[in-house]
């Protein structure tokens, strides 16, 4: 039976209309407005309490060493989130670090062992080694996790200290998203959150490993109203070179030895396989921002969303500024560190490893 031309055209018009409507329902931003410089980020100043949400790998180890060694800031808890390696090994690593560094005084809470939608995510054993802490053999760990689930612990601690607790997010954002779903009020009770982000070089998209782990969780956090600071593209500012490793070797402390044993393979991988001048340490730089905010020299206020549906770009951060159809300027929800002090970063790291 011949196809009626009018029915064909009408059907095509309806199909196009449906696609347009679907596009409108999904579209979020056009990349047309640059981030705006901001003089300071209040959540980073005079911090007294943190919760470290982590997927303990080699860079997390250094960040945890830095935070637990602070005499000014209390780490109220360490919560373990999906990320770098297998979840059970992450929990063991967190327990090992707390047991080693402060005799188990900081509670370690298990969180979700999978992203919100239980979808696969990339592993990072290629840089963190077989057990997440390089190829270092871990001794027996006798410390046990605290009985309270991570999301409940986050909600309880933040609610007990309104306006004081900074969430230091070093891995996937699953636990923090679950805490926000459990108790949305923590978005206004927390002092804020520091997120290890991806490359930020202005408007556009950028892959972030931590967002790739659980894009839906990242989406919940970005839309929550939490004050958010994020690390950006800092290049050699957040690197430790062979010369830095050599200097750390002269410290002769238990902490410097722990760092060197766990991170030797990371330095080798980054210099030989990625052809970089050193190993990148975004997690420790985020910790340094909390310990000494002067390490962050410049910030931009940016509207940030996360791609949830892309075949190749799922989990990418989208840095934009205006609605793609209306042209309305979308408010900034993240302060991104765009420039840092390599000197202050290294001094902060060295001070922690000398102790």
Q: Per-residue confidence at 203, pLDDT binned at 50, 70, 90?
A: confident
Q: How many residues does the chain have?
A: 355
**Which pLDDT score is estimated for 13?**
42
**Which pLDDT score is estimated for 311?**
85
Q: Which residues pair with 334 in a beta bridge?
A: 302
For 29-354, CATH gives 3.90.245.10
Q: What is the mean pLDDT of residues 281-307?
A: 96
What would the pLDDT profile of 1-46 be if each residue is shown by its tens digit?
A: 344 444 433 444 433 343 333 333 344 455 556 788 998 899 999 9
Strand 296-306 with 36-38, pairing: antiparallel
**Which pLDDT score is estimated for 123?**
81
Question: Which of 115-129, 137-151, 215-229 has the weakest average pLDDT?
Answer: 115-129
154 burial class (0-12, 13-18, 19+ CB within 10 angstroms)? buried
182 burial class (0-12, 13-18, 19+ CB within 10 angstroms)? middle
Query: What are the CA-CA distances from residue 285 to residues 41, 181, 323 (Å)?
Result: 16, 28, 32
Q: What is the mean pLDDT of residues 296-314?
A: 92
The model carries a pTM of 0.90
Does the structure show a pLDDT above 60 at 125? yes
Q: Please give the Cα distance from 283 to 49 (Å, whole number).
A: 18
Does the structure show a pLDDT above 60 at 296? yes
What would the pLDDT profile of 242-288 be if each residue is shown by its tens digit?
A: 999 999 999 999 999 999 999 999 999 999 999 999 999 999 999 99
What would the pLDDT profile of 139-198 be if each residue is shown by its tens digit?
A: 889 999 999 999 999 999 999 999 999 999 999 999 999 999 999 999 999 999 999 997
Specify whether the CB–CB gap between 146 and 109 falls below 8 A. Answer: yes
Residue 24's contacts (CB-CB under 8 Å, 6 or more residues apart) are: 325
What would the pLDDT profile of 50-102 be if each residue is shown by its tens digit?
A: 999 999 999 999 999 999 999 999 999 999 999 999 999 999 999 999 999 99
Q: Please give the Cα distance from 240 to 213 (Å, whole number).
A: 25
């Amino acid at each position: 039976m011949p196809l009626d031309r009018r029915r064909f055209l009408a059907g095509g018009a309806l199909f196009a209309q449906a696609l347009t409507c679907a596009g409108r329902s999904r579209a979020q931003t056009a990349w047309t407005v640059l981030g705006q410089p901001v003089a300071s980020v209040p959540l980073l100043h005079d911090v007294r309490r943190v919760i470290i949400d982590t997927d303990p790998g080699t860079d997390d180890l250094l960040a945890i060493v830095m935070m637990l060694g602070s005499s000014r800031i209390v780490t109220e808890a360490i919560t373990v989130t999906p990320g770098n390696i297998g979840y059970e090994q992450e929990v063991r690593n967190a327990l090992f670090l707390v047991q080693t560094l402060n005799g188990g005084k900081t509670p370690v809470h298990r969180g979700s062992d999978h992203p919100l939608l239980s979808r696969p995510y990339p592993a990072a054993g290629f840089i963190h080694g077989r057990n997440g802490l390089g190829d270092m053999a871990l001794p027996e760990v006798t410390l046990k996790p605290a009985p309270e689930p991570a999301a409940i612990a986050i909600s309880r601690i933040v609610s007990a200290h309104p306006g004081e607790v900074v969430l230091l997010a070093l891995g996937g954002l699953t636990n923090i998203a679950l805490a926000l779903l459990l108790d949305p009020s923590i978005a206004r009770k927390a002092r804020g959150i520091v997120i290890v982000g991806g490359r930020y070089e202005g408007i556009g998209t950028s892959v972030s490993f931590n967002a790739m782990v659980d894009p839906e969780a990242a989406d919940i956090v970005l839309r929550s109203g939490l004050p958010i600071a994020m690390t950006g593209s800092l290049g050699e500012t957040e690197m430790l070179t062979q010369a830095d490793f050599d200097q750390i070797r002269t410290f002769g402390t238990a902490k410097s030895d722990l760092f060197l044993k766990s991170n030797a393979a990371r330095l080798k991988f980054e210099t030989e396989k990625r052809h970089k001048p050193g190993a990148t340490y975004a997690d420790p730089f985020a910790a340094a921002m909390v310990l000494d905010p002067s390490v962050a020299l410049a910030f931009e206020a940016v509207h940030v969303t996360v791609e949830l549906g892309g075949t190749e770009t799922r989990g990418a951060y989208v840095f934009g500024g205006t609605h793609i159809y209306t042209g309305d300027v979308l408010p900034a929800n993240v302060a991104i560190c765009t420039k840092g002090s390599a000197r202050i970063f290294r001094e902060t790291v060295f001070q922690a490893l000398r102790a």
